[in-house]
Amino acid sequence: MTESEIRSLPLTRRGVLETGTAATALLAIGVPKAGRADTPPAAPAPEPVAVTLQINGQTHSLQLDPRTTLLDALREHLALTGSKKGCDHGQCGACTVLLDGRRINSCLTLAVMHDGEKITTIEGLATGSTLHPMQAAFVAHDGFQCGYCTSGQICSAVGMLAEARAGVPSFVTADLADAQPTLDDAEIRERMSGNICRCAAYPNIVAAIRQVAGAPA
């Protein structure tokens, strides 16, 4: 039904209903406006840029779209798939890696921002066939079930312990002047709150971290 036909309908109850239905349909499909310019063509993709990433002690020279996240560079370009893409919004922590020893969400940062910087993924924590102490503790305490979040949990835990040893307080730290906050369950849970385990293996994860931290079980 055209606009002119709609306007010619008699002003009856049926006409009002038909007019409303037709108007709703027109709004749904969109009515072209006179003189409306065509949609401009999409902008071309940016040219690839050279990026050198220091991953787990090895140098990787890549040509990347500057919009490539660090997570996608690891997974799609270097086949380092230990870092998982969970939410892709920095909310689950499954993609956590270590940047110069500091934990970051690799899905929230661009690869080009870390040219030449030292990055450690879950694949780089072990020494040959010898597991990192945090990896061994997760195995000993059964700190995983499906395992999807485990690489992020372990990298985050390693970075978290470094923060605590440097005296960085958390939201629940009682004494902000304490050079070495006591890593009790509350401290560990708060500091690891950015890493979600959908299987809810949190008690085992906390136990594993306490073991590596040297805290009493």
Burial class (CB in 10 A: 0-12, 13-18, 19+), 77: middle
For residue 164, pLDDT over 90 is answered with yes
Structure tokens at 145: 């079930």
Spatial distance between the Cα atoms of 151 and 67, rounded to a whole number of angstroms: 24
Give start and end residues of each alpha helix (H) in 78-149.
133-140
Domain 46-124: give its CATH superfamily. Answer: Beta-grasp domain (3.10.20.30)
Structure tokens at 196: 């979600």
pTM comes to 0.78
pLDDT band at 107; cut points 50, 70, 90:
very high
For residue 5, pLDDT over 90 is answered with no
Q: Quote the pLDDT of residue 58.
A: 96
Three-state SS for 39-54 is: CCCCCCCCCCEEEEEE
| Strand extents, DSSP E, 9-111 | 49-55, 58-64, 96-99, 102-105
Beta pairing, strands 49-55 & 118-120: parallel
Q: Quote the pLDDT of residue 131.
A: 97
* Ramachandran category for residue 30: left, alpha or beta (phi over 0 → left; psi -120 to 50 → alpha): left
User: Rounded to 5 degrees, what are φ and ψ at 51?
Assistant: -135, 135
Q: Which fold has domain 125-217?
A: DNA polymerase; domain 1 (1.10.150)
32-36, 59-63, 90-94, 193-197: the lowest-pLDDT one: 32-36
Domain ranges of the chain: 46-124, 125-217
Task: Give helix 133-140 / helix 202-213 axis angle, nearest 10°.
Answer: 140
Radius of gyration of the chain, Cα coordinates, nearest whole angstrom: 27
Q: Quote the pLDDT of residue 101.
A: 93
Structure tokens at 171: 């939201």
For residue 4, pLDDT over 70 is answered with no
List Cα–Cα distances, 66 to 79, 110, 122, 173, in angstroms: 19, 7, 24, 39
Q: Quote the pLDDT of residue 216.
A: 53
